[in-house]
């Protein structure tokens, strides 16, 4: 038991530290190659999400679809509760521009619904590929082009106006020192590769150690993946979001939350579904799916009501997540 605990904790430490290194390296690489702020946010979120994504892929590749899918949906639920809910509770108010919330939230919700259809075996895996091609890729391209070149993808003036405002709002309150991020050195570019390898190795340890500990203590894979692994790998993201909220950088908070969830779905569900498949869903997995769709929509609606999230809305999101955890424990014990 001590051996498995050591493997689990060691893997968690490795992926957390390596994820920080990878996120920093990718951000600096983006600065070096002149990425727009919106694209830089996506790239940075990809590095920050690498522990969750790698853990999910490791579990799916090992044939444990319950744990792998649980990590993705559990991480996304935890992100909404912590990055948005806890940030609002601790900061008192997180100002969120409405068009940026609609833009990021709609993309995240579309991919979440698509993932739900695939996991529930309602739609084939190629639906995920279609959503990647027609929703996620255009979203990334729009972020890469920036507000000045929207005519290349959005010829209609009303659409251009909305996207221009959304992209501008998304980074309207970024701190002045964000633009002083150092460009990548040769060391930064080389460090990204071993950091990624370390994340993969650490994820294997986390998944195997977590499964073994779960069996020892009689805890199901659903709980290990959806609650334990999902929450532990999401803590660094939550801390970063709370810091941003206290600096009154609401646009960055909601961008981080929805970009993280979008990337988790795109890389942690759609790509594995095409390669290894996801298997049949269980009742607990269906609960996670339905709850995530509802909580994502609720987060967008709450953010739009008063152009931001106040402490009461934050408590509501956290309470919804706590209710999910309680129901999941009941389902898994049944």
Which residues, 6 or more positions from 206, have their beta carbon under 8 angstroms from its beta carbon? 7, 8, 11, 12, 15, 55, 58, 229, 233
CATH code of the domain covering residue 267: 1.20.1420.30
Identify the pLDDT of residue 176. Answer: 47
Give the burial class of 52: count Cβ atoms within 10 A of its Cβ; 0-12 exposed, 13-18 middle, 19 or more buried.
buried
How confident is the model over 182-230, as pLDDT tens digits? Answer: 776 777 777 888 888 888 888 888 888 888 888 888 888 888 889 888 8
pLDDT per position as a tens digit, 26-64: 778 877 777 776 777 777 777 777 788 888 888 887 777
**How many distinct structural domains can be found in the chain?**
1
Mean pLDDT of 252-279: 83
245 vs 252: CA distance, rounded Å: 8
Structural domain boundaries, residue 108:
2-333
Which of 61-65, 152-156, 176-180, 260-264 bottoms out in mean pLDDT, i.e. has the lowest?
176-180
With both helix axes pointing from N to C terminus, report the angle between 250-265 and 98-119 in degrees, rounded to the nearest 10: 20
pLDDT reading at 159 higher than 50: yes
User: For residue 71, what are the contacts with CB-CB under 8 A and spacing of at least 6?
Assistant: 52, 55, 56, 59, 225, 226, 229, 230, 233, 268
| Residues in a beta bridge with 93 | 310
pTM: 0.86
Task: Lowest mean pLDDT of 47-51, 72-76, 102-106, 321-325, name the range.
Answer: 47-51
């Amino acid at each position: 038991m001590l051996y498995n605990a050591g493997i689990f904790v060691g893997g968690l430490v490795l992926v957390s530290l390596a994820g920080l290194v990878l996120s920093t390296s990718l951000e600096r690489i983006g600065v070096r190659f002149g990425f727009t702020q919106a694209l830089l946010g996506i790239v940075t979120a990809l590095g920050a999400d690498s522990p969750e994504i790698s853990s999910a892929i490791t579990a799916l590749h090992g044939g444990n679809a319950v744990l792998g899918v649980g990590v993705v949906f559990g991480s996304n639920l935890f992100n909404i509760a912590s990055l948005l809910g806890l940030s609002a509770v601790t900061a008192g108010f997180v100002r969120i521009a409405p068009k940026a919330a609609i833009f990021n939230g709609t993309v995240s919700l579309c991919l979440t619904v698509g993932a739900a259809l695939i996991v529930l075996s309602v739609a084939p895996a190629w639906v995920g590929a279609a959503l990647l091609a027609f929703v996620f890729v255009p979203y990334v391209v729009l972020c890469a082009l920036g507000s000045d070149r929207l005519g290349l993808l959005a010829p209609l003036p009303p659409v251009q106006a909305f996207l221009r405002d959304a992209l501008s709002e998304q980074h309207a309150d970024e701190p002045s020192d964000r633009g002083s991020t150092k460009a990548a050195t040769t060391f930064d570019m080389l460090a990204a590769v071993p950091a990624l390898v370390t994340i993969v190795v650490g994820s294997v340890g986390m998944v195997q150690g977590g499964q073994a500990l779960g069996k020892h203590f009689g805890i199901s894979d659903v709980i290990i993946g959806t609650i334990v692994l999902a929450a532990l790998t999401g803590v660094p993201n939550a801390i970063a979001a709370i810091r941003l909220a206290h600096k009154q950088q609401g646009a960055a908070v909601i961008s981080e939350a929805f970009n993280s969830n979008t990337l988790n779905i795109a890389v942690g569900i759609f790509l594995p579904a095409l390669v290894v498949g996801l298997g049949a869903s269980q009742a607990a997995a269906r609960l996670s799916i339905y709850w995530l769709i509802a909580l994502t929509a609720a987060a967008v609606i709450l953010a739009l009501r008063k152009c931001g999230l106040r402490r009461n809305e934050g408590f509501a999101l956290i309470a919804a997540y706590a209710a999910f955890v309680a129901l999941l424990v009941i389902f898994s014990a049944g």
